[in-house]
Structure 1
């Protein structure tokens, strides 16, 4: 039996204290711990560690938008703790409402990186879709298919190969169901939604698919 492991990036999760901490300090967060709730009324408790440079200042609560407490501090860095209510504005909470735990959490330069596992593409699409309903700048960065054997087929796609228009064509076609079977939208429908001709749509779609396939095959 095989499954999927994916890294989902939220480029600007303004409500996430961990991501905001990386913006304030310029240092990445590689370790995040979250409590298991004993009841729905209990607040969630989170801790994160962050390295401190020779001239860096300790994080303040105003930097991250929540009340911080310092759990430990030494020459290597600090571990901070905060509590939050279950209010639906936490990306990890959104993932968990889809019935999937977050395998790992890290943050860098204001962006949040979540690793999640799903049984199939449909389940993964539901997770990504739920995040996109709440947050802007949600991207699927890395996808790993795993099986029972100790092997994996890693597919890393560099989105920077695509032009802005090619990315728009792909995203719109996907959202409208162009790639589904049976199709929920045809080429004319997607072209009209974007405001381009059908021939232009086909041209951009073909170029985008070629770039993505080249990236996959090179990997």
Structure 2
């Protein structure tokens, strides 16, 4: 059994996603998305999605020519064509050889699920998404183990730490401040950094709080 990583991310109001635009326009929800290519026009992609609107969907203002092809009670299937290589969130992920396995929306929020082969591959995908979309939020990470159990993972964004907080944390870790028994006390670490013990304590507390919030809130 493979040991890849299953990731679910959320992007609020992605400007280049027609599906999220339609969902936001109707304050609705998209349950599923499918894509297909035409052999005679390989540069074009046809997408279909099931939209459950909560407001009148007669006039949906999106960056594409939508057509309704089928209705399921209050939901409807919409179809549109787009150019391949438009740079939408799905293509951004799939450019890293990580196929998107699930697409859904709630209002203007887009949720994408994909599988990365390992943590290095996951970091590459998340890094590019963060550069493109400031509203990116990693919702859930699961690593599939060979013993058929699942391990929860947390993706911690190091940029949440200031440069000084990261320096203090790394120095304390390198000197063995967090080991038991300690190889260095607070005074040793403060001297190494050229700061007071009080300043060291403040930086460590701020850094650890940010990291614990990222870990414990990611449920």
Question: CA shift at 1:119, angstroms?
Answer: 1.7
Deviations 1:121-154 (A, max 9, x none): 1110101112222222112110011134443223
Partner of residue 188, structure 1: none
Q: Counterpart of 2:30 in 1: which secondary structure? A: coil
- Give aligned pairs, total: 190
2:52 corresponds in structure 1 to 51
Return the match for 1:146 from 132, 144, 147: 144
Aligned-partner SS, 1:67: coil
Kept in 2, the 8 Å contact 1:25–1:59? The answer is: no
Q: CA contact under 8 A between 1:102 and 1:116: conserved in structure 2?
A: yes
| TM score, norm. by length of structure 2 | 0.72
What CA distance in whole angstroms lies between the structure 1 residues aligned with 2:69 and 2:160?
48
Aligned to 1:11: 12
Separation in structure 2 between the aligned mates of residue 199 and residue 104 of structure 1, nearest angstrom: 44
Deviation at 1:74, TM superposition (A): 4.3
Structure 2 distance, partners of 1:131, 1:167, is 15
Partner in structure 2 of residue 210 of structure 1: 212
| Candidates 92, 95, 102, aligned match of 2:93 | 95
- Name stretches of at least 5 consecutive residues in structure 2 with no aligned partner: 175-198
Is the deviation greater in 92-101 or in 29-38? 29-38
User: 1:192 — aligned with what?
Assistant: none
* The structure with more radius of gyration: 2
**Displacement of 1:35 after TM fit?**
1.2
1:76 to 66, 74, 77: 74
Q: Provide the secondary structure at the position in 2 that maps to 1:33.
A: strand
Pairing of 1:113-128 with structure 2 (within 5 A):
113-128=111-126
Q: Residue 29 of structure 2 contacts residue 106 of structure 2 at CA under 8 Å; is this kept in 1?
A: yes
CA contact (8 A) 1:88 1:94 kept: no
* 1:133 counterpart residue number: 131
Q: CA 1:14–1:121 in structure 2 vs 1: closer, same or farther (change >3 Å)?
A: same
Q: How does 1:173-192 map to 2 (within 5 A)?
A: none
Which structure has the highest strand share of the two? 2
Aligned-pair CA distance for 1:92: 0.6
RMSD: 3.5
